[in-house]
Amino acid sequence: MRPFPVLRVFLVVTAGAMFGMVLGGIFGRWAGGIAPAFFHKAFGPGTPTPAVDPVGIGTFIGATAGVLCGGFLATFAYVVHVVMAWIEAKKTTP
């Protein structure tokens, strides 16, 4: 098994996180626009947070969750790749 270049791993995980951020932000913006009553109830008067724009908070929450999910998924892909290469190397050695 040949080692992975550290810069390549960093760039792939970063790209996965940024792609997740874009998709999560788009979904959050859509959710904030289609169901503003949910965000007003969750983040409106009577809660510890001040009244917020539902589209803005939806975009923020979606983008934050997207960064975490995208980064985790890209990291998980490398972990699976390493495990599969390790199993393959173990099979070929006598």
Could you report the per-residue pLDDT of 34-66, keeping only the tens digit for each?
998 888 888 777 777 777 888 998 999 999 999
CB 67 within 8 A of CB 10: no
Is it the case that residue 1 has pLDDT exceeding 60? Answer: no
Could you report the per-residue pLDDT of 7-23, keeping only the tens digit for each?
988 999 999 999 999 99
Q: What are the residue ranges spanned by the domains of the chain?
A: 6-92
pTM: 0.80
The position carrying tokens 């792609």 is: 19
Measure the CA–CA gap between 19 and 33, rounded to whole angstroms.
Answer: 21
